[in-house]
């Protein structure tokens, strides 16, 4: 049979999976030594030209073909639970877009795959995509590591960004894949023989080049599994959207709605209006970008928004939930431009009680883009060209309404833990230059109270329908602190002459009473910190248990659908409940509402961890040029592995490791928020001032290590306060009946060695919880 290269290529392409030389020969009826040589040369020519590829085992496939068995990485799990993946080893520069792989259920014994999982699977082409049948889910955490390429005397190595990593990894020069000194990369750990001292990795992805000014946040977002890039389909869909017409919407363009945000804000997703009524009450409007009109259930935009769950805020950048075409354009309520909105009319009485509300879909035009400081200055009598014409008709009514709402907040007893918030200052080179306390003005509180009122109205409006199976509410719930944590607070504040009643339900108003009394003391910040740490974490739930911190029986998030998926779901449910047009909640979303609540609660926590990690890295990088310098600070955390200290000058946080506290075994007394020396009785207490020396500051890992200076090594107490001494238990004292002396000191609970042979033994893996 005659054949040419085109025939061979077409056969291989049509096969759907790699084929061997024998299978090609059989297809073209190639017999005899001479014809086999011709076939071999034809295959070699196609391979050398890059038209076909030769896979391990000798099989041939087209460049975009995949082996019959290979490792894939899950990149998406959609709302219906369908799993999609991409080949683990795929170079888009050379091979073009990665083929889409749909992962079929693995059957009994195979756990459900999740994003980021690596799977060994059987692969088969089906039309324009592949199907994968899982063989085994590989251990992704062990398989890959993020780090920086550095050259040692033995060649290139990968230095992990994880501060908990115990060792570095060698890289064969041939496995650098274009990475250079200082580059941030992801390395895949290579198989190695048991007993080898150093493992090796192969660079599989270049994350950031050396000198990239945004490297710090790049590390933190990759560690958290976040991504900045958008699927092409998402970007394409976003670019095709347009502002809708007035049809089916309320015309709100006649109201002087204004946005009030930070000076560096790029998206403006809420606008407010207030008018005083003859009866002393107010008519308020809170207008929110109509994200539900643009982001529909099941679309590529929705799939990606749900996957992200929320926007994540780093000191130097934002990883948004929605593409900029929406978050900074169509869904940004920019001044003097028509914008689609979901709005709520709110009527309150002279005491701030919500009497009536009405949700509408509208078309608005913002009268002005204002910033907090500008609005506050205008209220205080310093107007500018923008606020001057607005002061009487817009700004003053807003503050009048705020005064009424604030009075209502105080009356219901919402928790008032107004602790200072730190802001990392970044220059144009993306370097940290310092830390400042964010100023909290009445202008901030004004917007906060308007948003809280709108959120309460959203939850109430959905409950009014009395049909949670058709119109569910995603509540923002905040549980009452546990009895154990309240007991700890009660015992702690007794030292300051403060009491929290026992044996009754604790309410926010009672805690506020304590905070008001504490405000008169020099230790008020310490007491507020201890109370804050006793609080539960707020989460999303389809079941309502109320919001303890805000002292509200019902509460939902409605006001930020640009940056929170929970708000988008509330919008959709309101649209369906009140017949406000397209984009209502779907049956599929309702069926998965519990799973979605868990998912977005988890993405929120994940973002918080990533944000803290970035702050740690920025501060460590900022301090790295000051090794050996001494700083004043306060103990801001007491743990079983050491003391966290916040530096007075920069606000940076660092760790004084337990092992650096010399000469004693230390017990972590949780109730007293202190480390107590078992032998000496030496105390290091939360809130106490100390002087520390900077030992280590690594911007790559975010690790900042401190040591106590000579004047602080003998303990640190809160000035002017005498804490009640607690009798140590036998276990705390290290006593063991009928035990030889050499066994004394093995920690049985939360006691920790800082020096001596007993500490060394613990470091070698013997029983106990010493901080090594």
Token pair 């990606």 is found at: 304
Asked if residue 271 has pLDDT above 60, the reply is yes
Asked if residue 749 has pLDDT above 90, the reply is no
Give the pLDDT confidence score for residue 9 in this predicted structure. 79
Confidence tier at 766 by pLDDT (50, 70, 90): very low
Give the pLDDT confidence score for residue 14 in this predicted structure. 78
Q: What is the DSSP letter of 135?
A: E
Give the pLDDT confidence score for residue 273 in this predicted structure. 98
Residue 480: burial class (beta carbons within 10 Å; 0-12, 13-18, 19+): middle
Token pair 């689609």 is found at: 340
Asked if residue 416 has pLDDT above 90, the reply is no
For 405, the enclosing helix (H) or strand (E) is: helix 396-412
Give the pLDDT confidence score for residue 61 in this predicted structure. 79
Residues 507, 599, 101: CA angle, nearest 5 degrees: 180
Q: Could you tell me if 371 and 263 are in contact, meaning their C-beta atoms sit under 8 angstroms apart?
A: yes
Average pLDDT over residues 303-312: 95
The Cα 584–Cα 287 span in angstroms is: 18
Query: 542-559 in b/e burial notation, b at 16+ Cβ within 10 A?
Result: bebebbbbbbbebbbbbb
Q: pLDDT (tens digit, 9 = 90+) per residue, 432-452? A: 888 888 889 999 999 999 999
Confidence tier at 759 by pLDDT (50, 70, 90): very low
Residues 47, 53, 55: CA angle, nearest 5 degrees: 125
**Chain mean pLDDT for the chain:** 86
Token pair 């061979």 is found at: 8
Give the pLDDT confidence score for residue 545 in this predicted structure. 95
Q: Could you tell me if 554 and 459 are in contact, meaning their C-beta atoms sit under 8 angstroms apart?
A: yes
Q: pLDDT (tens digit, 9 = 90+) per residue, 577-613? A: 999 999 999 999 999 999 999 999 999 999 999 999 9
What phi and psi values does residue 587 have, to the nearest 5 degrees?
-60, -40
Confidence tier at 137 by pLDDT (50, 70, 90): confident
Asked if residue 235 has pLDDT above 60, the reply is yes
The Cα 278–Cα 283 span in angstroms is: 11
Residue 696: burial class (beta carbons within 10 Å; 0-12, 13-18, 19+): middle
Stretch among 47-61, 116-130, 161-175, 455-469 having the lowest mean pLDDT: 47-61
Give the pLDDT confidence score for residue 492 in this predicted structure. 86
Give helix then strand counts, H and E, for the chain.
21, 34
Strands 118-126 and 129-138, by their bridges, are antiparallel
Rg (CA), the chain: 31
pTM for the model stands at 0.77
Q: pLDDT (tens digit, 9 = 90+) per residue, 35-46? A: 888 888 888 877
The Cα 432–Cα 615 span in angstroms is: 10
Helix, strand, or coil (residue 70): strand
For 600, the enclosing helix (H) or strand (E) is: helix 593-623
Residues 96, 99, 100: CA angle, nearest 5 degrees: 140
CA 107 remoteness from chain centre: 33
* Better pLDDT: 39 or 330: 330
Give the pLDDT confidence score for residue 742 in this predicted structure. 39
Strand partners, 345: 285, 358
Confidence tier at 633 by pLDDT (50, 70, 90): very high
Confidence tier at 326 by pLDDT (50, 70, 90): very high
Average pLDDT over residues 302-307: 95
* Better pLDDT: 108 or 230: 230
Measured CA to CA in angstroms, residue 598 lies from 556, 592, 687 at distances of 15, 10, 35
Give the pLDDT confidence score for residue 731 in this predicted structure. 54
Average pLDDT over residues 198-210: 85
Q: Could you tell me if 227 and 221 are in contact, meaning their C-beta atoms sit under 8 angstroms apart?
A: yes
Average pLDDT over residues 107-129: 76
């Amino acid at each position: 049979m005659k054949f040419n290269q085109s025939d061979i290529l077409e056969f291989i392409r049509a096969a759907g999976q790699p084929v061997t030389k024998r299978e090609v020969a059989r297809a073209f009826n190639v017999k005899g030594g001479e014809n086999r040589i011709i076939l071999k040369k034809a295959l070699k020519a196609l391979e050398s030209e890059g038209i076909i590829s030769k896979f391990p085992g000798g099989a041939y496939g087209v460049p975009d073909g995949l082996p019959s068995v290979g490792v894939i990485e899950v990149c998406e799990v959609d709302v219906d639970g369908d799993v999609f993946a991409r080949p683990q080893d795929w170079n888009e520069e050379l091979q073009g877009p990665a083929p889409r792989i749909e992962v079929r259920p693995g059957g009994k014994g195979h756990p459900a795959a999740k994003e980021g999982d690596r799977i060994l699977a059987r692969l088969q082409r089906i039309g324009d995509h592949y199907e994968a049948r899982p063989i085994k889910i590989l251990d992704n955490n062990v398989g890959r590591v993020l780090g920086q390429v550095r050259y040692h005397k033995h060649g290139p190595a990968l230095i992990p960004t994880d501060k908990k990593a115990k060792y570095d990894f060698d890289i064969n020069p041939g496995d650098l894949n274009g990475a250079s000194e200082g580059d941030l990369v992801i390395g895949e750990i290579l198989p190695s023989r048991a007993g080898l001292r150093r493992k090796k990795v192969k660079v599989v992805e270049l994350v950031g080049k050396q000198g990239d000014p945004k490297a710090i946040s790049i590390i933190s977002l990759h560690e958290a599994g976040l991504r900045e890039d958008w699927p092409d389909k998402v970007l394409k869909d976003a670019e095709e959207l347009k502002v809708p017409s007035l049809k089916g919407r309320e015309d709100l363009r006649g109201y002087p709605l204004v946005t009030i945000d930070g000076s560096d804000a790029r998206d403006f997703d809420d606008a407010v209006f207030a008018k005083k009524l003859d009866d002393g009450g107010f008519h308020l409007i809170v207008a929110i970008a109509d994200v539900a009109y643009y982001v529909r259930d099941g679309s590529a935009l929705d799939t990606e928004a749900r996957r992200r769950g929320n926007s994540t805020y780093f000191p130097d950048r934002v990883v948004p939930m929605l593409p900029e075409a929406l978050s900074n354009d169509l869904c940004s309520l920019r001044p003097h431009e028509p914008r689609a909105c979901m709005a709520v009319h709110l009527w309150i009485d002279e005491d701030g009680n919500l009497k009536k509300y009405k949700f509408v879909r509208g078309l608005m035009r913002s009268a002005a883009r204002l910033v907090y400081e500008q609005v506050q200055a205008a209220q205080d009598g310093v107007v500018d060209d923008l606020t001057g014409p607005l002061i009487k008709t817009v700004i003053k009514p807003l503050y009048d309404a705020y005064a009424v709402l604030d009075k209502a907040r105080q009356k219901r007893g919402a928790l008032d833990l107004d602790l200072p918030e730190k802001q990392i200052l970044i220059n144009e080179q993306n370097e940290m230059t310092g830390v400042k306390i964010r100023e909290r003005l009445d202008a901030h509180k004004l917007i906060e109270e308007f948003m809280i009122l709108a959120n309460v109205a959203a939850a109430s409006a959905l409950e009014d329908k009395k049909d949670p199976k058709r119109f569910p509410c995603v509540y923002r719930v905040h549980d009452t602190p546990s009895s154990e944590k309240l007991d700890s607070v009660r015992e702690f504040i007794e030292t300051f002459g403060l009491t929290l009643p026992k044996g009754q339900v604790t309410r926010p108003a009672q805690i506020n009473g304590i905070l008001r009394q504490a405000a008169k003391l020099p230790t008020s910040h310490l007491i507020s910190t201890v109370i804050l740490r006793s609080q539960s974490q707020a989460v999303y739930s389809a079941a309502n248990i109320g919001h303890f911190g805000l002292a509200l029986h019902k509460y939902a998030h409605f006001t930020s659908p640009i940056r929170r998926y929970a708000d988008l779901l509330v919008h959709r449910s309101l649209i369906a409940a009140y017949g406000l047009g397209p984009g209502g909640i779907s049956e599929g979303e309702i069926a998965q509402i519990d799973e979605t609540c868990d998912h977005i609660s988890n993405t929120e926590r994940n973002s918080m961890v990533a944000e803290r990690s970035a702050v740690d890295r920025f501060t460590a990088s900022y301090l790295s040029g000051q090794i050996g310098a001494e700083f004043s600070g306060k103990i801001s955390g007491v743990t079983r592995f050491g003391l966290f200290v916040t530096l007075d000058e920069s606000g940076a946080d660092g760790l004084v490791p337990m092992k650096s506290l010399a000469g004693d075994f230390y017990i972590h007394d949780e109730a007293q928020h202190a480390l107590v020396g078992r032998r000496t009785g030496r105390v290091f207490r939360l809130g106490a001032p100390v002087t520390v020396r900077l030992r280590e500051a690594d911007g790559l890992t975010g690790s900042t290590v401190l040591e106590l200076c000579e004047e602080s090594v003998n303990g640190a107490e809160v000035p002017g306060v005498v804490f009640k001494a607690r009798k140590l238990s036998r276990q705390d004292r290290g006593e063991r009946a009928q035990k030889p002396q050499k066994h004394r000191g093995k920690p049985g609970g939360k006691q920790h060695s800082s020096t001596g042979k007993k500490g060394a033994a613990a470091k070698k893996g013997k029983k106990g919880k010493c901080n090594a």
